Structure formats: structure tokens, C-alpha cells
Structure 1
Amino acid sequence: MKKAYFNWSSGKDSAFALYEILQQKEYRIEKLITNVNEDYQRVSMHGLHENLLEAQAKSVNIPLEKIYFPADVTMDLYNQKMKDKTTELKSLGLNHAVFGDIFLEDLKKYRDSKLKEVGITGVYPLWKQDTKTILKEFLKLGFKTITVCVNAKKLGKEFVGRVIDEDFINELPDSVDVCGENGEFHTFCFDGPIFKNPIEFEIGEKVLKSYTLNKDDSQNCHEGTSEKVKNYDTSFWYCDLTLKEA
């Protein structure tokens, strides 16, 4: 089997992609790699507490490594830290990197170009699959996931902090991808066939956060691609989840 690491976002697409890659038995996943905001100790973009991320990794039974970034990370710093980490992973014999991306061509091109610099090959088990089919199969398999962040320009407060089910899907506007593949929403996957046990958590407050960025800056967004600030969505609804102590 080929040794690989998995780029774990904590959300549903990652969970389903991990499930798919484990079924194929072509790759042996040695590590989960997750980007974390060091200022807030939360998963980047998702806003998820580190201890919930750690609980996922423990339940999946795959070692977790975190890459810490400041809240105001520049693309130059992002790229350098990612290159340092991928170079380290390559030195361990991990020649493949697995992602849960589905159809964002620019993002895949960006990832592959950066991986090529260090001699790693990207693997995309969900690539170009129909997102409605993916989500239907995801739910059929018994996965459970809750929205933790939604783009306030695309969805209202009522869509954050909700477990994704048929009602959620039916209520989505036609302009929103059912898997949130265009960044409309991000999720926390807390149960399913890859987990030894479900992650117990409590739902906290919902908060609207807006971000002010300098005109000429670039921002690392959607887990590792660059966009000019004029195209960067600056307002998000977050739902705070806390790990339920045993």
C-alpha cells in the first residue's frame, strides 16, 4: 500500500473522502493534517475548537498533526509553512496527499502545483462526483454532520448550528451547492462508519463575525487558495460547539 497523509478539515467532505480512500485499500493513511488558527486555537475557516478536532482523530484512530497559522496569515507565510510541512512529510515517505475537494479547479491546480515542488502527488477520491449524489450517499452510510460556519452573504443565521438532513437540503436556496463546495458553509462531522464512537458535543451561541482586510492584501481562504480581497467574503455566521465531557 502507498503511504499517504490526509488533509483533514473536520467536515463532511473530509470524512466521506477518508471513508472512500479507506475502502479502496490502495493507500495507507499515516497522518491527519489540519490547519489551526493559533490565535484562537480553532480549526481554520471552520472555527471549531481544537479539542473537538482531537476527539475526531482519536475516534478515527489516525494520528493528528496540526499546522498553526496566525489569524492574519499572508499567502507568503502560508505557502512557506505548508512547504516546510510537506517537505517533512515527504521525508517520512509520505508521497501522497489526500483531499476532500470535489470540483474547484483553481484550488486543485494550486494544491497540485505546491505539492509538485516537493515531489508529492495529490489524491482526490471525490473529484468531479455529483455533490447531490455524494451527500445522499454520505447520509445513507450513517454519517452525521452539523454546520458550524455559513457565509452570511449566501445563507442566514437559521442555517448554522443545524444537523444536515433532508429538511436542511430542501431548504437550501437553488444558488447554494448542497455540499457547500463554493464555501457557502462548513461542517463538523461527528459520527459515521469511520468513527469508533460518536463525538459528544453541546451547541452554544451563534455569532456573526465580519472581517476587515486591507485593499491590497491576499487572504488564504477555502483551505489554501488565494483570492484578492475584493472577492473575499467578509461576513460569516459561526455556531460555537463545545466538547461534552465524559
Structure 2
Amino acid sequence: MTPLPDLIRRAGMTPVVIVKNHSTDDEERVRTEAQLMNSSEAYFAIEDRLYEGDHVEMRDPRGGLILKVAAEVEQHPMPASMASAFGGSNGYTKVKWGKDQPVRQAPVRRLDLQHLHAEVVSSASALFADSQYDSAVTEAMKSVEVRVRRLTGLEVSGAALMQEAFKPKNFMLDVGVEEGRSGSDEREGFFYLFRGAIVGIRNPKAHELARGDDPNEALELLALASLLHRRLDIAEARLT
């Protein structure tokens, strides 16, 4: 973190994150401190290199995060001979936030492999790290199929396996958590999710040459496999 002039620092500092190229593949995040004067402006050390269009992420007192956009940036450099008098900084930057309503972000973790189900991490993480995205998704979905077969003892595979394991009226594995009609609807919905994941994702990728090159889409599909495994955790606990 870089220091601000003492005059501004005495007003109190707040930890923030400067986000450059927000929501792009080139996004960069830099932790620093700022003096948040009010809802419309703030001060940063000039060394923080904050420019118009950059985003700044800060904690929301109500919970979660607030994301603001730097609309106007004024840099106030100081001579090197005066740096010590201003807390070691070479100057400060005054920022005015954009007029648009700042975006509140929920206090949740960003999705990444480490937070997915252990079965998905075990079967797909190495392939994902090697940019073999189609193969990573195939292996994750295969791990779901193998686990369903193990829990049911059935010797069929694919759609037939999911049909027997999760058919709403006579299921072998209970993945529902709700009661009554809501529970029935939930089990029916997950029947289609399990069947759809195998028929629509696992089977086509297993039968075609790997060509997926989008890590974000692959991560979303791995998250689906993770969700299915977490429901299998529920079903497996009920079998014991």
C-alpha cells in the first residue's frame, strides 16, 4: 500500500481494491487504501495509478461490497523534496465517482475449482489446469455417472441409469430436501438435471473430438457436476 499525504491520511483510511479492466480476461486487482471523503469523491496516493474508467471495490456497511467507477481523476504531484512532509508520497489523486448508482455485490466467493465438490476436483482439476476443458467436463460428468451406478448397484449406464435411479414416482436415490409437494417437484426437477447432464453434456463430449476452448463455460459445467455430487451426498447419507 502507498501512503497519502498526512493532511488527508488524518481523516481516516479505508481498505479498497482498484479493479482495472473490470469483468474482462485482463482484469487486474490491486489492494490499497483511500480516503473516502463522501459518496461522491475520494483521495488516493498518486502512486496507485488510478485512471478514469477504473473500478474501485469497497466494503458496504450493510454487508457485501460496493463497486464504483472513477469518472473524473485529478492528479496532484508533489516535488520529491516534499515527499517526506507528505507521508512519503509523491502526491495524491482526487477521484470523483460516476453518477450511476454503484453496483452492490453479494458477499460470496468467486467461483473456482477449489470450492467445487471433492469428486469434481479429483477427476477434473488436472485436466482443467492443462486447458483440456472438454476432457475436464467429460471426466467430471463421468464421475457423477460412476457414483450413481455404485450407489444403486445398477449395471446400466447413461440415460437408462438416470431413469432408474431418479424417476420421480419410484426413485432409488432420494436427492430431495423439501417436504410435501415441493419435495416431489424438487425430485422431479433433479431427475431431469441428472438425466440432462448425462445425455446433453457427458455423452456428446465423450463421443466427439475435444474442441472446447472456453474456460468460463467449462467452469460453469463443472459447477453443475459439483451440484449433482452434493445431492448425491444427501442420497448416500440416507442409504446408510
Fold shared by both chains (TM-score > 0.5) = no
Greater helix fraction, Structure 1 or Structure 2 = 2
* TM-score, length of structure 2 as denominator length: 0.20
Higher relative contact order (CA 8 A, sep 6+): 1
Greater strand fraction, Structure 1 or Structure 2 = 1
